[in-house]
Structure formats: C-alpha cells, structure tokens
Amino acid sequence: MKCTRYFQTVRRSHDRAIIKKEWIVRVMTSPVKEEVQADGRIRRWAPIPEMGGRYLRGVLLEDGETVHNAFFDRRFKP
C-alpha cells in the first residue's frame, strides 16, 4: 500500500493507530460512496463491521492508489 509521508506521521496518533491496513484496503477497493474533491483527491467510505459498523473514510491522492489520510468519520451518513 502506497501512502504519503503525512499519512505515516498522522497514523502514529493513538486514534489512528487502531486502523488496520486491511480496513484501508477495504475502503480503497469496496467503497459505499466516493467523492472527488476540488483538488483532485478522492474520498471513499466503507463500513467496518469489526468496529461496530463505523464508517472509515479514506482519502487518496489523484492516482487513486496513494493513501493520504484515513479516519473514522462520525458525520458520514450512508
């Protein structure tokens, strides 16, 4: 999995450290929703049953492969 230096740094925080690589891959490959931001970055959401169905948001760079951010999105409504 390719990721930005920003993601590597942010992932060290305790609330992001619990996010497993396989969950990020799930968001990348099987999102329930996708949006393209004005800057070209791609937002994708997927539920994570292992976390009580909470939705994980992944933010990818324009290439659709490089992870820039990932976090549980409390505001997302499917």
Q: For residue 7, count other CB atoms closer than 10 A to its CB.
A: 20
What does the alpha-carbon distance between residue 53 and residue 56 come to, in Å, rounded to a whole number? 9
What does the alpha-carbon distance between residue 78 and residue 71 come to, in Å, rounded to a whole number? 16
- Contact (Cβ atoms closer than 8 angstroms) between residue 55 and residue 78: yes
pLDDT digits (tens, 9 = 90+) for 2-40: 999 999 999 999 889 999 999 999 999 999 999 999 999
pTM, to two decimals? 0.92
* Six token digits for residue 57: 């948001």
What are the structural domain ranges in the chain? Answer: 2-72
